[in-house]
Structure formats: C-alpha cells, structure tokens
Chains A and B, each alone.
Chain A
Amino acid sequence: MSEERHEHLPEHSHQHILECSNQQPDPAIFSETHGLVFLEKVSSEKIQQALTQWVEEIREWAKSNAYLVGHIKLFVEGPENLWLSSTGRSINIKHSQGWSEWFTYRVNLNVTAIIFGTSKKALGEVAQVRLQACIKRIDSDE
C-alpha cells in the first residue's frame, strides 16, 4: 500500500463553536468529509471493519479520559450506504440493502465526533491520526 494508491482529501475540516446562550459547555467537534479512491476494489466488509474500529477507538479514548460523548457518527455515501453511530456505549450499525455484497473503488466518507470535556485540538489530533490509520487499513492487502 502506498500513499499514491488512494486519495483521501478532506473537503471540510471545521470546528464549529455553538453559540447558543444555553449556559452549557461547548463540545469539541471533529467533522470531515473524505473522498476515498482505492487502486483495487475493496469489500464493504473490509470498509465496515476498519471504520467500526475508528468509532471504537474514539469511544475508548473518550472513555479513558472521562470525556462525555455527544455522539460519534459516520456515513459512507455511495450506491450503497453504511451508517455507524455511538454515544459512547454500543455502536449502532445500519446499512442499505445491498451493502453486504458490495465491492467498490471509491466512497465518500463523512465523519463527525462531538465530545465534551476536551479541546478541539486534542480531539482533532486523535481523530485524524486514527482515521488515517483506518483508511490505510482499508487499502492494505491484509
């Protein structure tokens, strides 16, 4: 696997500070969209495993630091779709009807993690590093 074999271009990477006058602490937000292109077709199962692991890792990082998870959400957009979500407990997995049999060269990946108790910088670093590792796993031969 090499860097050239896939593109994962963050189309958006923003921290939005909620300006509600609701006296609540502002959460840290990691929110990105990636267009992923693979050299070889990959199975939906491989994509799902890698992305589920990303959700697990963010959940465990929040748990080990006693942060409150707002939510962790992920949506794979294409002819078939995958939707993962967690509030720090179980991970809900939903997908379109043909997802399980699907192979693809490309997907659009949308991820959002909203965590209370940490900073935008800390969340961004952890989420980004682990997301890149997850994307590499999808494109690896393992």
Chain B
Amino acid sequence: MNILLFGGFLGSGKTSIILQVARHLVGDIEEGFSTRQSDGGKTSLVIIENEVGETGIDDKILKAEGLSVRDLFAGCICCTLNAELTICLNEIQEELSPKWVIIETTGMAFPDRVAETITKYGKDIESLKTIVVADAERWDELSTVMPGLVEGQISKADVILLNKIDCLEPEQVSDVEERVRGINSSALFYAISAQHEVDSQIWREAVTGK
C-alpha cells in the first residue's frame, strides 16, 4: 500500500488536485478512470476523506467521479481521530489491499502529525509521501493571519504544490515561491493551476516518483 497524504489550508485546492492525481494513478494502472482493476475487480485506489463539519462535501465530489471513498468526519486525524485513521487504514489494507491510498486531511491539520501516526501504527505501508498544497492567491493573507499553521503544514512536506498561480502575475508567483522554499527547501516544488489539467509529467515526478 502506497500512501499519498495531502495537506494544505482550507480552500487551497486539495480536492481538485486529488481528482487529477486519482485519474493519473488509476489511468496508470488500467487506462481508464475507474478505481476497479480488471483482474478480479480489486480496488486499486481508495481515498480517505477527513472533513471539518459532519456533512461531507469533498467525499461526495470524489464519489460522483466513481472513486472509492472512506469518510472520517467529526474530528481531525492529526489529533482527535488518529486512532480512527489507523483502524481505517488497516481495515482497507486487510479488506482491499489497494496499490494506492490517498488521504485528504482537513485544512486545519498538520500533515506531519498524521504521517507520524501512519508510520508508527500502519500495517504493510510500502511508501508514504506528504504532499502539501499552498494557496498562491491567498499566500500573503494566510501567512500573515495564520503563520504557525501554514508554515507548519509546509515545513515537513515531501512535495509542495503551489496552486492557483493563474491568479497571480509571474513576478508575484516567483515571490511566493521564494518564501515557500524558504520554509522548506528540501521538498520537491511545483507551481501549478489545478483549474486546468496539470502536465502528467508533474504527477509522474511528484506522485509516483518516476
């Protein structure tokens, strides 16, 4: 089981990006957008959705695209629901043993805390990658109002996706990029706009590491 752990502040574009990544991953396996593999109907990709509030929206968006989704509501998996996350992950492994599991955290979560839980208690984890989405359009505002959260999310990411660059001028994007890289210089960095189809080469490098 290979895990992609997605973090990033509310509204940064995690769900839009996950939709594209899911298409890439499933297409990579079976050249079609379905989470079912042809050999025996085994599920190749499962998404775990952790949402703020007890009425989920992101899970419904992903399910409407035919994706297999498990919900974890009424708490945050980086703190109050970390035990539930472990149980959920291990059940997925035992029941389905998918090649890929995508976890979408709430916009208030610290992904490194979730990664710590998975590393400690997860079973049969082949790989774990933390991907954090940063909102280029709101970078100034968010890094001013909530610097601890925004920087904490980015600081330990393996991959940073600076999203919504279509909302800024190129020089503004460069400025934000510099500030994001200043927080975490070791992560792979990509500036994207998930409003449009992202170059699959980026997903190959960032997600599957090819």
The chain A residues found within 8 Å of chain B, CB to CB, are: 11-12, 14-16, 18-24, 27, 29, 31-33, 68-71, 73-75, 77, 81, 83, 85-87, 89-90, 92, 96, 110-112, 114, 116
Q: Pick the most buried of B52, B56, B106, B141: most chain A CB atoms within 10 A of its CB.
A: B52
Q: Pick the most buried of A33, A75, A86: most chain B CB atoms within 10 A of its CB.
A: A75
Judge whether A110 and B57 touch: CB under 8 Å: yes
Residues of A contacting B79 in the complex (Cβ-Cβ under 8 angstroms) = 19-22
Could you tell me the distance between the alpha carbons of A83 and B148 in the complex, rounded to whole angstroms?
30
Residues of B contacting A15 in the complex (Cβ-Cβ under 8 angstroms) = 53
Distance to closest chain B CB from A74 (angstroms): 7
Partner of B64, one of A74, A96, A111, A114: A96
B80 CB–A CB distance under 8 Å: yes
Residues of A contacting B149 in the complex (Cβ-Cβ under 8 angstroms) = 22, 24
Residues of B contacting A81 in the complex (Cβ-Cβ under 8 angstroms) = 61, 64
Judge whether B53 and A31 touch: CB under 8 Å: yes
The chain B residues found within 8 Å of chain A, CB to CB, are: 9-11, 51-58, 60-61, 64, 73-76, 78-80, 106-110, 135, 137-138, 141, 145-146, 148-149, 152, 167, 195
Could you tell me the distance between the alpha carbons of A111 and B64 in the complex, rounded to whole angstroms?
16
Residues of A contacting B10 in the complex (Cβ-Cβ under 8 angstroms) = 27, 70-71, 87, 114
Judge whether B55 and A112 touch: CB under 8 Å: yes
A110/B55 contact (C-beta < 8 A), A24-B148, A68-B141, A89-B137 known: yes
Judge whether A85 and B11 touch: CB under 8 Å: yes
Partner of B53, one of A11, A89, A114: A114
Distance to closest chain A CB from B64 (angstroms): 5
Partner of B54, one of A14, A20, A90: A14
Could you tell me the distance between the alpha carbons of A119 and B93 in the complex, rounded to whole angstroms?
40
Judge whether B57 and A87 touch: CB under 8 Å: no
Residues of B contacting A70 in the complex (Cβ-Cβ under 8 angstroms) = 9-11, 52, 107
Distance to closest chain B CB from A18 (angstroms): 5
Judge whether B107 and A71 touch: CB under 8 Å: yes
Which A-chain residue is minimally distant from B135 (CB atoms)?
A87
Distance to closest chain A CB from B196 (angstroms): 12
Could you tell me the distance between the alpha carbons of A32 and B56 in the complex, rounded to whole angstroms?
9
Judge whether A24 and B146 touch: CB under 8 Å: yes
Q: With contacts A23-B148, A90-B167 known, what are 15 further pairs, Cβ within 8 A?
A: A12-B55, A14-B53, A18-B76, A20-B79, A20-B109, A29-B52, A31-B52, A33-B55, A68-B141, A69-B11, A70-B10, A71-B107, A85-B11, A87-B137, A114-B107
Judge whether A16 and B107 touch: CB under 8 Å: no
Residues of A contacting B138 in the complex (Cβ-Cβ under 8 angstroms) = 87, 89
Judge whether A16 and B11 touch: CB under 8 Å: no
Could you tell me the distance between the alpha carbons of A89 and B107 in the complex, rounded to whole angstroms?
18
- 11 A-B pairs, CB-CB below 8 angstroms? A11-B55, A19-B80, A20-B110, A22-B110, A27-B52, A71-B11, A81-B64, A89-B137, A110-B60, A111-B57, A112-B52
Judge whether A73 and B55 touch: CB under 8 Å: no
A29/B148 contact (C-beta < 8 A), A19-B76, A20-B78 known: no
